């Protein structure tokens, strides 16, 4: 997480809360739960590194400082925070998974823009977030209260739809060109298949199938139904 800059402020020239890396429950922490605490700008920096294959930047709100004659006094181009050395096939796997998330999110139907992205919520429903990206941009939205309390009617609010209505449609209508609709390269090393609800592995023919999952071709944990049968037998034993 620290390689993506998730242990530091993002670099924005405005007050920003310090992030917190989870210090308990390692398994859940690895998938973003636990006691992790990040702002939308910090998550956006992390997603920027995913979008560009491994370069994490110090973010900036400024472009250039010029005098009254148009001469550049200072250039505020984003500086590199860290470069993450991971195989391109691994980046492609992650990008494809995030792209499929967006493709299967109903909020984006009809949006003429190719994106990848991910929603996020806190377990107490204090925060809703969506960060969207493609090879040309990363942007995010956060929904919540300044007072840090449960969001009313949170079940009816889709952070992805908020992102689409504010950011996605603005890009399409006001800042749209061929570059902004670029897609990530097709990843042929990713298998898309439903997961088995009993074992969490890739579902076999006889498995009870869950939602679509995405796996690298070098790591395909197929369910052979044997483990699933053991699970059912254990449940039957408990009933007895």
Per-residue tens of pLDDT for the chain, all 240 residues: 899 999 999 999 998 989 999 988 888 888 777 888 899 999 999 999 999 999 999 999 999 999 999 999 999 888 999 999 998 888 888 888 888 888 888 888 888 888 899 998 887 889 999 999 988 889 999 999 988 899 888 877 889 999 999 998 888 887 766 666 677 776 677 777 888 888 888 888 888 888 777 777 778 888 876 554 444 444 444 444
| pLDDT given for residue 235 in this prediction | 43
| pLDDT given for residue 192 in this prediction | 79
Q: How far apart are CA 165 and CA 26, in angstroms?
A: 36
Using CA atoms, how far residue 36 sits from 39, 50, 56, 161, 164, in Å, is 10, 19, 19, 24, 26
Q: How far apart are CA 6 and CA 8, in angstroms?
A: 6
Secondary structure class of 171 (helix, strand, coil): helix
Secondary structure class of 227 (helix, strand, coil): helix
Q: What is the dihedral of CA 208, 211, 217, 218, to 10 degrees?
A: -80
| pLDDT given for residue 177 in this prediction | 66
| pLDDT given for residue 236 in this prediction | 46
| pLDDT given for residue 230 in this prediction | 47
| pLDDT given for residue 56 in this prediction | 95
The pair phi, psi for residue 101, each rounded to 5°, is: -60, -50
| pLDDT given for residue 96 in this prediction | 83
- What b/e sequence results for 28-66 when a residue is b if at least 16 CB atoms lie within 10 Å of its CB, and e otherwise? ebeeeebebebbbbbbbbbbbbbbebbebbbbeeeeeee
Secondary structure class of 183 (helix, strand, coil): coil
């Amino acid at each position: 997480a620290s390689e993506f800059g998730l242990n530091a402020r993002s670099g924005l020239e405005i007050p920003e809360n310090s992030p917190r890396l989870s210090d308990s429950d390692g398994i859940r922490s690895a998938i973003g739960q636990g006691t992790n605490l990040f702002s939308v700008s910090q998550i956006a920096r992390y997603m920027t590194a995913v979008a560009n294959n491994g370069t994490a930047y110090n973010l900036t709100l400024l472009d250039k400082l010029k005098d009254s004659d148009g001469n550049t006094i200072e250039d505020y181009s984003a500086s590199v925070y860290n470069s993450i050395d991971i195989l391109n096939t691994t980046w492609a796997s992650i990008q494809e998974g995030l792209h499929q998330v967006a493709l299967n999110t109903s909020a984006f139907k009809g949006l003429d823009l190719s994106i990848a992205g991910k929603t996020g919520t806190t377990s107490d429903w204090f925060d809703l977030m969506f960060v969207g990206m493609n090879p040309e941009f990363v942007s995010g939205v956060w929904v919540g209260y300044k007072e840090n309390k449960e969001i009313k009617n949170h079940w009816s609010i889709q952070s992805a739809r908020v992102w689409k209505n504010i950011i996605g449609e603005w890009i399409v209508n006001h800042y749209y060109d061929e570059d902004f609709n670029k897609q990530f390269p097709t990843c042929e090393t990713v298998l898309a298949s439903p997961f088995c609800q009993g074992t969490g592995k890739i579902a076999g023919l006889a498995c009870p199938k869950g939602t679509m999952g995405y796996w690298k071709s070098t790591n395909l944990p197929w369910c052979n139904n044997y483990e699933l049968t053991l699970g059912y037998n254990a449940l039957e034993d408990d009933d007895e």
